[in-house]
Amino acid sequence: MRITVIGTGYLGAVHAACMASIGHEVLGVDSDADKITELAAGRAPFYEPGLADLLRPAVRSGRLRFGTSFAEAGAFGELHFICVGTPQLAGSYAADVSAVDAAVERLVPRCARDCLIVGKSTVPVGTASRLAAVVAGLAPAGVTAELAWNPEFLREGTAIADTLHPERLVAGVSSARADAALRQAYAPMIEAGTPYISTDPSTAELVKVSANAFLATKVSFINVIADVCDVADADVATLAQALGYDSRIGPQALGAGLGFGGGCLAKDVRALAARAEELGASDAVAFLGTVDAVNAARRRRAVDIARSMAGGSLRGTRVAVLGVAFKPGTDDVRDSPALAVAAAVSLQGAEVRAHDPRAAANARALHPQLRFAPDVTGACEGADVVLHLTEWDEYQDVDPWALRAVVREPRVFDARNVLPLERWRAAGWTARAFGRRIRPGRAEGPRPAAAGGRLAPVGGGSPRPPGPQCPSWCLRGDERCECW
């Protein structure tokens, strides 16, 4: 099919590349000329694993082109996917759909052939029915243009796989013709057995925000339980594992920690609440305010923990931050919990040295006061506290014995609950996490002397060998280890 993709951000660029990879002729359109130049050269303008590998051959073959012209898009496409952003409206919880409106208004009068306009952007329920009238009104004489809504469920970091092998396809259509066009566009996925749900546009719009609101609720739920674990001396990671085996619950989105961020979950929770309120159903979604508030509190709590680990004040301290992206696998720092904590810690007087394998440039552009190191060791040099804020795989492999040699004080806060903290404790670190019972660690790995670590324990005394009181070479006491 001849497809255009209007808007080439994280969603549109991936969608365009994937549609070309399954055999369609695709034209990507964006008003950002720099981005278009990159894409037209087969380069990804942001980090998304696998995207460049898909772009290069598709561009080279001529099946995938990029441009800035709506006239070219209108002349070319029989299927136009609208993939522009719908951020939170300034001064409101509602979504700003002005970019969607503008795309439709610029494209439809230039459509030179019968076509289907397909919204993929996440919008408040009712947007499609409002825009259907706009499309009908703006279509040139002799051209039949129709609107459908086909929400996208891709996650950054796994966007290619999510697009090429989706768990479901949702088509909000008003005619058999629109339904047939979408089935044709996604034929390889449907043939591979992907469930295809054909419904009306309003239901399709609502499926998307409901999915994101549900995921956000799940994350906030486990974070509330993490707080209960903290006071009950229970372990939220084990608890989540046990919950996840229940097929009615499932293991996804049960990672307790710093909470959700990015361009979607928080924005969609608020937009759903705002839209429900407009429609007179605010009571029905009142709990979404709690989901949002629980999430915001994680960031404040993380800053409080960092401050308390630093001895009660952050002023004059040096804080190492591992990870600033909103999650691993992306360079996206939009509403990043990690970056928010790093910035707050810096505002409270700490000198922050951060590391992130992909997101440093985007983070620096927003917060030039943060310093970035090229590696973990550089970020941790002389640190009074190490904050693990985005769970990139490589941080889980850090050798705590070796790192201990470069910090000023061996204190680590794992705000993502994935570091092997028993090992860190065995290496002499004071370690904290949300809702974790961290047993005194077994002494695995090289002894501190071999790693060049400092043996002198903080708090006096000399290190004790493992014994009945404490089954590790515990170099430091902390609130849960009684061996000192």
**Cα distance between residue 185 and residue 214, in whole Å:** 28
The answer to whether 292 contacts ligand UGA (rule: CB under 6 A) is no
Task: Please answer whether residues 212 and 261 qualify as being in contact, where contact means their C-beta atoms are separated by less than 8 angstroms.
Answer: no
Does position 221 interact with ligand UGA (CB under 6 A)? The reply is: no
| Catalytic member of 264, 380, 470, 474 | 264
DSSP letters spanning 93-139: SSB--HHHHHHHHHHGGG--S-EEEEE-S---TTHHHHHHHHHHHHS
CA gap 189, 338 in Å, rounded: 36
Exactly one of 30, 38, 156, 235 binds ligand UGA (CB under 6 A); which one?
156
Q: Applying CB under 6 A, which part among 28-36, 66-74, 167-175, 248-256 lies near ligand UGA?
A: 248-256
**Count of residues engaged in binding ligand UGA, rule: CB under 6 A:** 21
Asked if 237 contacts 182 with a C-beta cutoff of 8 angstroms, the reply is: no
Could you say which residues in the range 195-214 bind ligand UGA, by CB under 6 A? 212
Note whether 67 binds ligand UGA by CB under 6 A. no
CB of 54 to ligand UGA, least distance (A): 18
- Tell me which of 2, 56, 63, 155 binds ligand UGA, using CB under 6 A: 155
Phi, psi of 253, rounded to the nearest 5 degrees = 60, 30
Identify whether the C-beta of residue 309 lies closer than 8 Å to the C-beta of residue 303.
no
Closest CA to 224 of 269, 232, 390, 209: 232
Nearest distance from C-beta of residue 93 to ligand UGA, angstroms: 16
If one asks whether residue 326 binds ligand UGA (CB under 6 A), the answer comes out as yes
The binder of ligand UGA chosen from 255, 410, 435, 441 (CB under 6 A): 255
Task: Work out whether 152 is an interface residue with ligand UGA (CB under 6 A).
Answer: yes
DSSP label at residue 452:
T
Q: Map residue 481 onto helix, strand or coil.
A: strand
Output the six-digit token pair for 325. 């992206």
Structure tokens at 58: 């598709």
Contact call for residue 154 and ligand UGA (CB under 6 A): yes
For 365, phi then psi, to 5°, come to -65, -35
115 counts as catalytic: no
Among 18, 181, 264, 386, binds ligand UGA (CB under 6 A): 264
What is the smallest separation between the CB atom of 261 and ligand UGA, expressed in angstroms?
4
Q: Which stretch binds ligand UGA (CB under 6 A): 80-88, 147-155, 457-465, 470-478?
A: 147-155
Looking at 107, 123, 138, 219, which residue binds ligand UGA (CB under 6 A)?
Answer: 219
Pair of tokens at residue 340 = 């928010």
How long a stretch of residues is the chain?
484
- Least Cβ distance, residue 418 to ligand UGA (angstroms): 10
Residue nearest to ligand UGA as judged by C-beta position: 255
Out of 153, 196, 221, 484, point to the residue binding ligand UGA (CB under 6 A). 153
Residue by residue, DSSP assigns 144-169 as -EEEEE------TTSHHHHHHS-S-E
Q: Does 367 bind ligand UGA (CB under 6 A)?
A: no
Q: If you write DSSP's letter for every residue of 206-272 in order, what string do you get?
A: HHHHHHHHHHHHHHHHHHHHHHHHHHHT--HHHHHHHHHTSTTT-STT---SS---SSSHHHHHHHH
Q: For residue 322, report the phi and psi dihedrals to the nearest 5 degrees.
A: -100, 105
> Is position 357 an interface residue for ligand UGA (rule: CB under 6 A)?
no
* Burial of residue 91 (number of CB atoms within 10 Å: 0-12, 13-18, 19+): exposed
Site map (CB under 6 A) of ligand UGA, residues 100-129, x = contact: ----------------------x-------
Using CB under 6 A, pick the residue from 119, 166, 262, 440 that binds ligand UGA. Answer: 262
In whole angstroms, give the CA distance from residue 105 to residue 134: 8
For 105, residues 6+ apart whose C-beta sits below 8 A from its C-beta are 134, 138
Among 327, 355, 367, 423, binds ligand UGA (CB under 6 A): 327
| Least gap, CB of 335 to ligand UGA (angstroms) | 8
- Min dist CB 469 to ligand UGA, Å, is 36
Q: In terms of CB distance, is 215 or 359 closer to ligand UGA?
A: 215
Phi and psi at residue 65, to the nearest 5°? -125, 160
Using the rule CB under 6 A, is 172 a contact of ligand UGA? no
Indicate whether 149 belongs to the interface with ligand UGA (CB under 6 A).
no
Q: Kindly tell me which residue out of 28, 42, 259, 400 binds ligand UGA, with binding defined by CB under 6 A.
A: 259
Q: Which is nearer to ligand UGA, 65 or 120 (CB)?
A: 120
Residues near ligand UGA, by CB under 6 A = 122, 152-156, 212, 215, 219, 253-255, 257, 259-262, 264-265, 326-327
Catalytic machinery residues = 264
